Amino acid sequence: MKKCYLYVLAIFLAGICFKSNAQQAPRIPEASPTQTIIQDFGLGKVTITYSRPSVKDRVIFGGINPYGEVWRTGANAATTISFTENVIFEGHSVPAGTYSLFTIPDKSEWTIILNKTAKQWGAYSYKEKDDLLRVKVKSTYRAEKRESFTIQFADVTTHSADLHLVWDHTSVYIKLNTDDDAKITANIDKLMQGDRKPYYFNAIQYYYENNKDMKKALGWALEAQKVEPKGPWYKLWEARIRLKMGDKTAAIKAAEEGVALAKASNDEEYVRLNQAVIDKAKS
């Protein structure tokens, strides 16, 4: 019985030792760390996963990345880009899905490639026949050096965004647009058939920013003021819409009322925003 106990104890202690050693295994940092960025875009999301090599005093484009050759757009595994909704990629329709993002750098322009094989190591098994799309974009020189390769989003709106590829002294901008206006408009129409109060703000904003039916947007702004008569935000949208419709006098009047409401509630932000409409209308 004692031998059996000692045998079980030895196995138990060995397990603890193994677990401890596994937890304390040495680690080495990646030379090109992986990053995943996620951007809300329209009704969906754009997700990019890539590895970030550094310059390290090397010649990058035209050097370690030769001009005219397919590049994985990072290091290690090929960069992937995922769209949960259909998008417009540099003017071309792209279905929702996950793609490899390859590029062909050149001195003054790059070829941007969306390849249908999403999981591949580098560009070693890249096949042009699997390309979904190829577009050319201009590259620009940056005075400021970027040590680590960087992919980032900029100037994101409800319907557009710029995708920036930046490394060393080179920048490339890729234009993205949403492809869900019909779906969004249908959603707004459906929501505005019920209790409108939770949806006034977003509906008005979307119609205004996307240059849709301004009369409908103005009607919503006026309705919303009846629900929230002390709020300066719907006066702001009324003023903005009237100004876009060309009625400067009515825009100034609405904005002045918005300033008064904002001052009454000590809302400095909406004092400033309404005043900006007045200044624009008077300029």
Q: What is the pLDDT of residues 78-113, one digit of tens each?
A: 999 999 999 999 999 999 999 999 999 999 999 999
Residue 2 belongs to a domain = no
Give 44's contacts (C-beta < 8 A, 6+ positions apart). 83, 84, 85, 96, 180
Same domain flag for 44 and 143: yes
Residue 94 belongs to a domain = yes
Average pLDDT over residues 147-153: 98
Residue 129 belongs to a domain = yes
pLDDT band with cut points at 50, 70 and 90 for residue 23: low
Rounded-to-integer distance, Cα 254 and Cα 242, Å: 9
Residue 5 belongs to a domain = no
Mean pLDDT of the chain: 92
- What percent of the chain clears pLDDT 70, i.e. is strictly above it? 92
Average pLDDT over residues 138-144: 96
| 188 to 20, 37, 41, 110, 216: CA distances (angstroms) | 56, 29, 17, 39, 12
Q: What pLDDT is stored for residue 17 in this prediction?
A: 47
pLDDT band with cut points at 50, 70 and 90 for residue 14: low
Give 80's contacts (C-beta < 8 A, 6+ positions apart). 48, 49, 50, 98, 99, 100, 101, 118, 119
Same domain flag for 40 and 161: yes
pLDDT band with cut points at 50, 70 and 90 for residue 25: confident
Between 31 and 219, the higher pLDDT residue: 219
Average pLDDT over residues 224-243: 96
Q: Is 238 exposed, middle or buried (0-12, 13-18, 19+ CB in 10 A)?
A: buried
Domain that holds residue 120: 34-178
Q: What pLDDT is stored for residue 26 in this prediction?
A: 85
The last residue of a domain, from among 129, 151, 178: 178
Write down the pTM of the prediction.
0.77
Which pair of tokens denotes residue 220? Answer: 């919503």
Q: What pLDDT is stored for residue 101 in this prediction?
A: 98
Same domain flag for 58 and 161: yes
Average pLDDT over residues 70-75: 98
Check pLDDT > 90 for residue 28. no
Check pLDDT > 80 for residue 1. no
Out of 3-12, 16-25, 191-200, 237-246, pick the least confident.
3-12
pLDDT band with cut points at 50, 70 and 90 for residue 9: very low
Same domain flag for 92 and 167: yes
Out of 22-31, 56-65, 90-99, 209-218, pick the least confident.
22-31
Rounded-to-integer distance, Cα 111 and Cα 134, Å: 6
Q: What pLDDT is stored for residue 244 in this prediction?
A: 97
Q: What pLDDT is stored for residue 122 in this prediction?
A: 94
Q: What pLDDT is stored for residue 15 in this prediction?
A: 54
Same domain flag for 200 and 64: no
Residue 238 belongs to a domain = yes
